[in-house]
């Protein structure tokens, strides 16, 4: 899933305060994830450990912690477990995504599919899903299980839609929004919901956190699709994104299709339809001239504005400054990406 591609290296922005402040929570989460390994059957423990030890960004746990923020040094065990549940679901989706994308590497090491073979990886992802739900079932009420299982189903639905619509040029903006809402924003939303809810905030703030998570998730996915589109070397003529290679219709590609000259457009469509190598030799300069990143930035900004707006009535609450910081961080990353793109 593009939502999990490594993007940390893209930005040169210093790590925002928010990550320093949730340090103790992240330490507790790391311990929790290590403990989870022993819950798996001995025969598959090392495989489970391989997946859980992943040194990802832990973005979803961050959302749980900041949405449930009750002040410096307060480490709430329920938040740690909830963040572990959400992260395990996310890691399970990555294991399955990497099978479908035939990806060999993630975060500079072999994917589970490459390490253990695609068949074992299908089952390993299933086992991670199951364990996530098992932890969810250890809360006093069924609520965590209920929201996480529903959310997981939605994430899968979004991914199915994207898979079925590969190389489908009839995908509309609305379809794209719907897909990323399900496949990415859904888990961001649940992370924020659970953080606020398990910390005992008012129903109004729980709802606001929920909506914040959703808008942030949409913004994040659009941003992530641009990262993939521009490719690691930030040179579209050289390294085309994996999404592009697999024919996933994303916002940057939609913009490109709209803005290319007629012959270029026809060539791109033909290549997309036929599964051929894409005929793009355009440089980053050309992407700039076509305003692709500008168009994406506009869409991201709009979602971030919505995310900020839902928090406005709750500005006095402890979590809000941290949540706004995270939104700001995404905006800076986007600017960094774009200004980076300006200097090939």
Tokens (6 digits) for 237: 């003529």
- Name the helix (H) or strand (E) containing 106: strand 105-106
Q: What is the crossing angle of helices 77-100 and 23-37, to 10°?
A: 60
- Judged by CB under 8 A, does residue 245 bind its own copies? no
Stretch that binds its own copies, among 51-59, 117-125, 286-294, 313-321 (CB under 8 A): 117-125
301 lines the binding site for its own copies (CB under 8 A)? no
Member of 35, 104, 150, 285 binding its own copies (CB under 8 A): 150
Q: Is 146 one of the binding residues for its own copies (CB under 8 A)?
A: yes
**Alpha-carbon span 227 to 6, nearest angstrom:** 9
Sign of CA pseudo-dihedral 22, 16, 324, 249: negative
Query: How many residues would you count in the chain?
Result: 344
Which one, 187 or 292, has the nearer CB to its own copies? 187
Residue 122, interface with its own copies (CB under 8 A)? yes
With binding defined as CB under 8 A, does residue 276 bind its own copies? no
Q: Which helix (H) or strand (E) holds 66?
A: helix 59-67
Q: Is the dihedral of CA 79, 82, 88, 89 positive or negative?
A: negative
Query: Which one among 26, 49, 75, 133 touches its own copies, defined by CB under 8 A?
Result: 133
| 63: nearest Cα among 4, 7, 19 | 19
Task: Report the distance separating Cα 100 and Cα 118, nearest Å.
Answer: 9
Q: Could you tell me the smallest distance in angstroms from the CB atom of residue 265 to its own copies?
A: 28
Chain positions 1 to 40 lying near its own copies, rule: CB under 8 A, are 39-40
The answer to the question of residue 84 lying near its own copies (CB under 8 A) is no
Q: Helix (H) and strand (E) counts for the chain?
A: 17, 2
Judge residue 128's burial from the number of C-beta atoms within 10 Å of its C-beta, 0-12 exposed, 13-18 middle, 19 or more buried. buried
| Binding flag, residue 106, its own copies (CB under 8 A) | no
Contact 159, 93 (CB under 8 A): yes
Binding positions for its own copies, 168-187, rule CB under 8 A: 178, 182
CB of 248 to its own copies, least distance (A): 12
> Interface with its own copies includes 96 (CB under 8 A)?
yes
Interface residue with its own copies, options 31, 153, 238, 276 (CB under 8 A): 153
Stretch touching its own copies by CB under 8 A, among 10-18, 127-135, 210-218, 265-273: 127-135
Minimum CB separation from its own copies for residue 139, in Å?
7
- Which one of the spans 72-80, 133-141, 221-229, 282-290 is the region binding its own copies (CB under 8 A)? 133-141
| Region class of 139: left (phi > 0), else alpha (psi between -120 and 50), else beta | beta
DSSP 114-125: HHH-HHHHHHHH
Stretch that binds its own copies, among 23-31, 130-138, 192-200, 279-287 (CB under 8 A): 130-138
Q: For residue 185, what is the DSSP state?
A: I
CA-to-CA dists, residue 81 to 3, 53, 62, 242, angstroms: 22, 16, 13, 33
Shorter beta-carbon distance to its own copies: residue 35 or 204: 35
Instruction: Establish if 136 lies at the interface with its own copies (CB under 8 A).
Output: yes
Q: Pick from 68, 84, 125, 213: which binds its own copies (CB under 8 A)? A: 125
How is residue 102 written in tokens?
């035939």
Which residues in the 42-71 window bind its own copies by CB under 8 A? 43-44, 47
Between residues 124 and 260, which has the closer beta carbon with respect to its own copies?
124
The verdict on 139 binding its own copies (CB under 8 A) reads: yes
The Cβ-side half-sphere exposure at 167, using a 13 Å CA radius, reads 11
| Interacting residues toward its own copies by CB under 8 A | 39-41, 43-44, 47, 92-93, 96, 99-100, 116-117, 119-120, 122-127, 129-131, 133-134, 136-142, 145-146, 149-150, 152-154, 156-157, 159-161, 163-164, 178, 182
């Amino acid at each position: 899933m593009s939502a999990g591609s490594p993007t940390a290296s893209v930005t040169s922005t210093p790590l925002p305060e928010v990550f320093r402040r949730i340090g103790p929570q992240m330490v507790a989460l790391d311990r929790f994830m290590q403990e989870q390994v022993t819950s798996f059957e001995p025969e598959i423990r090392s495989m489970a450990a391989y997946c859980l030890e992943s040194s990802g960004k832990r973005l979803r746990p961050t959302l749980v912690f900041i949405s449930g923020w009750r002040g410096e040094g307060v480490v709430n065990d329920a938040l740690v477990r909830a963040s572990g549940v959400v992260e395990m679901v996310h890691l399970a989706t990555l294991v399955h995504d990497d099978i479908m994308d035939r990806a060999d590497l993630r975060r500079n090491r072999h994917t589970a599919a490459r390490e253990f073979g695609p068949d074992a990886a299908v089952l390993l992802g299933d086992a991670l899903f199951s364990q996530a739900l098992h932890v969810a079932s250890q809360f006093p009420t069924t609520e965590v299980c209920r929201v996480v299982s529903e959310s997981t189903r939605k994430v899968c639905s979004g991914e199915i839609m994207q898979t079925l619509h590969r190389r489908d040029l009839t995908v509309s903006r609305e379809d794209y929004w719907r897909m990323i809402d399900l496949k990415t924003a859904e888990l961001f939303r649940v992370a924020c919901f659970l953080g606020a809810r398990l910390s005992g905030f008012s129903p109004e703030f729980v709802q606001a956190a929920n909506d914040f998570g959703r808008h942030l998730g949409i913004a994040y996915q659009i941003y992530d699709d641009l990262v993939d589109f521009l490719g690691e070397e930030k040179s579209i003529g050289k390294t085309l994104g994996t999404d592009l290679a697999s024919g996933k219709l994303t916002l940057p590609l939609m913009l490109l299709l709209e803005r290319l000259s007629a012959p270029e457009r026809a060539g791109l469509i033909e290549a997309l339809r036929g599964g051929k190598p894409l005929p793009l030799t355009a440089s980053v300069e050309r992407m700039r001239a076509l305003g692709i990143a500008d168009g994406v930035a506009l869409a991201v900004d709009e979602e971030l504005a919505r995310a900020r707006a839902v928090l406005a009535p709750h500005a006095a609450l402890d979590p809000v400054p941290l949540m706004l910081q995270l939104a700001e961080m995404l905006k800076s990353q986007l600017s960094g990406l774009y200004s980076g793109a300006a200097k090939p």
